[in-house]
Amino acid sequence: MRYQSVFKPGLFAGKVVVITGGGSGIGRCTAHELAALGAHVVLIGRKLDKLQTVAEEIIADGNLHVSFHACDIRNEDTVKSTVAAIVATHGCIDALVNNAGGQYITPLEQISAKGWQAVIDTNLTGGFLMARECYLHSMQAHGGAVVNIVADIWGSMPGMGHSGAARAGMVSFTETAALEWAKNGVRVNAVAPGYIASSGMDHYPAEAGPMLRDMAETVPAGRFGNEAETSAAIVFLLSPAASFISGSVLRVDGARPQVRLGWGNVAAPADVQQRAAVKAFEGFHRYQVPKVFQS
């Protein structure tokens, strides 16, 4: 099988797209979709083995335009050299998906300064460094599009205050970069996934399982989103159809931030979840259900 994208074949033919965190989850899915649409995808991550596995998947699906680089986006010198190497090889970078990130569940009073800084560096500083270098090495001269992956921060992120602060900072960065870089033909937007059933959930401790499984009951759509639904939003913002969209945040969250106290159970029942307008889009042929949701 091949990726079942809703976008036209060849939409990104000849384009070079860098995807951080490309070795798993949303990054892996987005890489598959963009590759299926003709892009040369450049996977970025800290673990070469994971990147190589995704690259081999893409090639096995018949899409030969893929490469990868090990890079810790928190290290400025490494980011500089990696982006320079990509431009030297491909001539330019047409788009960047700033997807790499990570956090852990801890109340504010138990977060150490070191832990706080690690999450800020991963979810905010690293994204800034990647975007800045892609701009300086390529987009300043040739234009391009950036999509920053943030999170459902509206109404706070209890238990993940460090991540919420970093993601809010990335939203502000998105808006500022959209303004400052517009003169060079660069668009900068963000996608804010809500509760997405992605492989990242398997990194949480086992005791978080019951909480994760119950979270769908707080979503008006009545379910978790999936990686393909997030990827579709990213691809749209990178596409020519979004040429007049910049500085915006596209939420992919099933209306979760609209939930207010006093409304009781807002989740749509299972039969309603199958109606065409809200039924899960399952375009990613290699999607793997997170272990926490497997019986």
Rounded Cα distance, 124 and 156, in Å: 17
Does a structural domain hold residue 77? yes
Q: What is the pLDDT of residue 168?
A: 96
| Cβ density class 231-241: b for 16+ within 10 Å, e for less | bbbbbbbbbee
Amino acid at 59: I
Instruction: Tell me if 19 sits within 8 A of 43, measured CB to CB.
Output: yes
Neighbours of 74 (CB within 10 A): 17
Count: domains in the chain: 1
- pTM value is 0.94
β-pair partners for 147: 97, 189
Give all strands of the β-sheet with 16-20 in edge-to-edge order.
Answer: 66-70, 40-45, 16-20, 95-98, 144-149, 186-193, 249-252
What pLDDT shows up at residue 295?
Answer: 63
Per-residue pLDDT tens listing for the chain (295 residues): 899 999 999 999 999 999 999 999 999 999 999 999 999 999 999 999 999 999 999 999 999 999 999 999 999 999 999 999 999 999 999 999 999 988 788 999 999 999 999 999 999 999 999 999 999 999 999 999 999 999 999 888 888 899 999 999 999 999 999 999 999 999 999 999 999 998 777 777 777 788 888 888 989 999 999 999 999 999 999 999 999 999 999 999 999 999 887 787 889 999 999 999 999 999 999 998 888 888 6
In a domain? residue 109 = yes
Domain membership of residue 279 (yes or no) is no
So what's the pLDDT on residue 158? 86
Q: Which domain holds residue 160?
A: 16-199+225-258
In this structure, is residue 23 part of a structural domain? yes
Tokens of 172: 């502000």
- Are 150 and 191 in contact by the 8 Å Cβ rule? The answer is yes
Residue 86 within a domain: yes
Residues in the chain: 295
Q: Which one-letter amino acid corresponds to residue 61?
A: D
Judge whether 219 lies within some domain. Answer: no
Beta-bridge partners for 196: 225
Give the closest residue to 131 by CA, choosing from 88, 95, 86: 95
Count of CB atoms situated within 10 Å of the CB of 43: 29
Is 64 within the bounds of a domain?
A: yes
**22 Cβ contact partners less than 8 Å away, ≥ 6 residues apart:** 28, 30, 31, 41, 42, 43, 44, 45, 51, 54, 68, 99
- pLDDT value at residue 87: 98
DSSP-assigned letters across all residues of 83-118: HHHHHHHHS---EEEE-------B-GGG--HHHHHH
CATH number at residue 51: 3.40.50.720
Examine residue 123 and state whether it is found in any structural domain, yes or no. Answer: yes
Beta carbons within 8 Å of 173's beta carbon, 6+ residues apart? 124, 127, 128, 131, 148
Quickly list DSSP for 213-250: HHGGGGSTTSS-B-HHHHHHHHHHHHSGGGTT--S-EE
